């Protein structure tokens, strides 16, 4: 069955963005970025993929965004950020799909994901953010965490409002830039 993987960057104190939604403090470079772009080229926005000459990607064919994460893409100039993937935005306020390439889910995202997992396809990437991850927490099969050597103090949490959920570490890679990439699996 297809798996839902929350592939995300976080600080050591568990934040994915500042309170006002910025992520610039993570920076864009370092050896972890090059290695992970090569490993998961499908998780790179289409325009950047094309600019870097990245192709393919065997892990994910679908991406899920919470509306606030999707808004971040819109603010940076595109309503269709990952046109090489099936894109789904979860929102109660959007009313209609903001772009022909985007599927809108307005209620019961966990039920939507359970149905999606039954269909044929590759992995499902939960891009974020933490609010949507909290809504979907019981459906998250894997967490691929880019743990940055930073403390932010406050911000948007990695997973908002979750109950206790236990995962096993199934792999890790330590990069020279201080980022640790950790793979966790529920099963």
Ligand X SMILES: NC(=O)c1ccc[n+]([C@@H]2O[C@H](COP(=O)([O-])OP(=O)(O)OC[C@H]3O[C@@H](n4cnc5c(N)ncnc54)[C@H](OP(=O)(O)O)[C@@H]3O)[C@@H](O)[C@H]2O)c1
- The residues facing 174 across adjacent strands are 180
Nearer Cβ to ligand X, position 14 or 186? Answer: 14
92: contact with ligand X by CB under 6 A:
yes
Pick out residues in 41-60 that bind ligand X (CB under 6 A). Answer: none
11: contact with ligand X by CB under 6 A:
no
68: contact with ligand X by CB under 6 A:
yes
Q: Beta strand 142-148 with 4-11: parallel, antiparallel or unpaired?
A: parallel
67: contact with ligand X by CB under 6 A:
yes
For the stretch 29-50, what's the b/e string if a residue is b when 16 or more beta carbons lie within 10 angstroms of its beta carbon? ebebbeebeeebbbbbbbeebe
CA gap 161, 128 in Å, rounded:
14
Torsional class of 117: left (φ above 0), alpha (ψ -120 to 50), beta (otherwise): alpha
Specify the stretch interacting with ligand X by CB under 6 A; choose among 9-17, 41-49, 161-169, 176-184. Answer: 9-17
Residue nearest ligand X (C-beta atom) = 129
Footprint of ligand X on this chain (CB under 6 A)?
8-9, 16-17, 21, 23, 66-69, 72, 90-94, 107, 109, 127-132, 135, 156, 160
């Amino acid at each position: 069955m297809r798996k839902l993987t929350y592939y995300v960057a976080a600080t050591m104190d568990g934040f994915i963005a500042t309170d006002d939604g910025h992520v610039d403090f993570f920076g864009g470079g370092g050896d972890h970025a090059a290695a992970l772009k090569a490993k998961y080229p499908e998780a790179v926005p289409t325009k950047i993929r094309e600019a870097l000459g990245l192709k393919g990607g065997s892990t994910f064919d679908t991406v899920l965004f919470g509306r606030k994460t999707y808004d971040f893409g819109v603010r940076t100039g595109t309503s269709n950020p990952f046109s090489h993937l099936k894109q789904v935005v979860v929102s109660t306020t959007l009313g209609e799909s903001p772009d022909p390439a985007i599927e809108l889910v307005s209620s019961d995202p966990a039920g939507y994901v359970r149905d999606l997992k039954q269909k044929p396809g590759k992995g499902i990437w939960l891009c974020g953010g933490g609010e949507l991850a909290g809504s979907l927490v019981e459906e998250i099969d894997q967490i691929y965490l880019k743990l940055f050597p930073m403390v932010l103090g406050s911000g948007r949490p990695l997973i908002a409002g979750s109950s206790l959920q236990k995962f096993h570490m199934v792999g890790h890679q330590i990069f020279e830039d201080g980022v640790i990439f950790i793979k966790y699996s529920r099963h």
